[in-house]
Amino acid sequence: MSFSLFSYLPSPPDPALRQPYTSSAFFPLVLGHYALAILAILPHTFIFRISLLPIVLWQAWRCAVGLSLSEGVAQLLGLESAERLNYFNVPYMIGVFVIVTRSFDWTFVKKPLRRYEPLAEGQKTLIERPLSPGNVFLDAFELLFNLRGIGWSWSSKPFPYYLSSSPTASPSLTSILLKMIYKFVLFDILVYLVQYLRPSTNDPKGDTLFDPNLSLVPRWALANFFALCGGMIIYTTIDASYHFATLIGRVVLRQSAWQWPPLSDRPWVATSITQFWSFRWHQFFRHIFVVFGARPGGKLLGHPGALMGAFVVSGYMHYIGIWGLGRGTDFFTAGAFFPIMGVGTVVEWGLKKATGLRVGGLLGWTWTMVWTISWGTLMLDGWARRGVIACDFFPYGMRPGKMIVDAIIGLVLI
Report, as an integer, the average pLDDT of 348-365. Answer: 94
Residue 3 pLDDT exceeds 70: no
- Which range, of 68-72, 118-122, 152-156, 264-268, averages the lowest pLDDT? 118-122
Cα–Cα distance measured from residue 195 to residue 189, given in angstroms and rounded to the nearest whole number: 10
Residue 164 pLDDT exceeds 50: no
Report, as an integer, the average pLDDT of 354-372. Answer: 95
Per-residue model confidence as pLDDT tens digits over 178-230: 999 999 999 999 999 999 999 999 999 999 999 999 999 999 999 999 999 99
- Return the exposure string of 271-291: e unless at least 16 CB atoms fall within 10 Å of the residue's CB, then b: bbbbbbbeebbbbebbbbbbb
Residue 8 pLDDT exceeds 60: no
Beta-carbon contacts of residue 313 (< 8 Å; ≥ 6 apart): 288, 289, 292, 293
- The answer to whether 267 and 281 are in contact (CB under 8 A) is yes
Provide the pLDDT for residue 11.
Answer: 57
Compute the C-alpha angle 157/163/167, nearest 5°: 165
Fill in the amino acid letter for 360. G
CB neighbours of residue 397 within 10 Å? 7
Provide the pLDDT for residue 255.
Answer: 87
Provide the pLDDT for residue 54.
Answer: 97
Residue 139 pLDDT exceeds 70: yes
Percent of the chain's residues with pLDDT above 90 = 73
Model confidence at 17, in pLDDT bands (50, 70, 90)?
A: confident
Model confidence at 372, in pLDDT bands (50, 70, 90)?
A: very high
Q: Which one has a higher pLDDT value, 15 or 144? A: 144
Provide the pLDDT for residue 105.
Answer: 97
Fill in the amino acid letter for 233. I
Q: Closest by alpha carbon to 292, among 157, 153, 34, 98? A: 98
Cα–Cα distance measured from residue 60 to residue 162, given in angstroms and rounded to the nearest whole number: 36
Residue 404 burial class via C-beta count within 10 angstroms: exposed 0-12, middle 13-18, buried 19 and up: middle
When the pLDDT of each residue in the chain is averaged and rounded to a whole number, the result is: 90
Residue 252 pLDDT exceeds 50: yes
Per-residue model confidence as pLDDT tens digits over 315-341: 999 999 988 888 877 777 778 899 999
Report, as an integer, the average pLDDT of 128-148. Answer: 95
Cα–Cα distance measured from residue 351 to residue 255, given in angstroms and rounded to the nearest whole number: 44
CB neighbours of residue 218 within 10 Å? 11
Cα dist from 207 to 185, 191, 336, whole Å: 25, 15, 20
Cα–Cα distance measured from residue 80 to residue 391, given in angstroms and rounded to the nearest whole number: 15
Per-residue model confidence as pLDDT tens digits over 257-292: 888 988 899 999 999 999 999 999 999 999 999 999
Cα–Cα distance measured from residue 128 to residue 131, given in angstroms and rounded to the nearest whole number: 9
Residue 9 pLDDT exceeds 60: no
Residue 13 pLDDT exceeds 60: no
The model scores a pTM over 0.75: yes
Provide the pLDDT for residue 163.
Answer: 45
Cα–Cα distance measured from residue 36 to residue 54, given in angstroms and rounded to the nearest whole number: 11
Per DSSP, the three-state class of 382 is helix
Model confidence at 391, in pLDDT bands (50, 70, 90)?
A: confident
Per-residue model confidence as pLDDT tens digits over 31-51: 999 999 999 999 999 999 999
Report, as an integer, the average pLDDT of 2-23. Answer: 64
Q: Closest by alpha carbon to 236, among 185, 168, 278, 193? A: 185
Cα–Cα distance measured from residue 108 to residue 104, given in angstroms and rounded to the nearest whole number: 6
CA-derived radius of gyration, the chain: 22
First vs last C-alpha separation in the chain:
54
Q: Closest by alpha carbon to 402, among 195, 234, 179, 199? A: 195
